[in-house]
Amino acid sequence: MEQITIAIKQLFEPDENGRKFSQSDVAKKMDVTRTMVHRWANGKSVPSGENLLKLIKLGYLDISKLK
């Protein structure tokens, strides 16, 4: 579960191309609240299996990096 939290938190940090996502943008595309995304990023909760699949399908998470 910690790997998921780390991966989600990294979404909101600039990558090598300077790209980062906002919690609001992720929440809108996922059809969840920004508060829920904030809780995932801070390790206060983890996404359900359905939401985890959405994160992967939308390209936010790379399944090969999750252990």
Question: What is residue 57's DSSP assignment?
Answer: H
Structural domain for 39, as ranges: 2-65
Question: Rounded to an integer, what distance in angstroms lies between the CA atom of residue 5 and that of residue 3?
Answer: 5
pLDDT at position 19, please?
76
The model's pLDDT over 20-47, given as tens digits with 9 standing for 90+, comes to 889 999 999 999 999 999 999 999 999 9
Total domains in the fold of the chain: 1
Taking a C-beta distance cutoff of 8 angstroms, is the pair 38, 23 a contact?
yes
CATH number at residue 29: 1.10.260.40
Question: At 66, is the pLDDT very low, low, confident or very high (cuts 50, 70, 90)?
Answer: confident
Average pLDDT over the chain reads 90
- Count Cβ atoms within 10 A of the Cβ of residue 29 and give its class: 0-12 exposed, 13-18 middle, 19 or more buried: middle
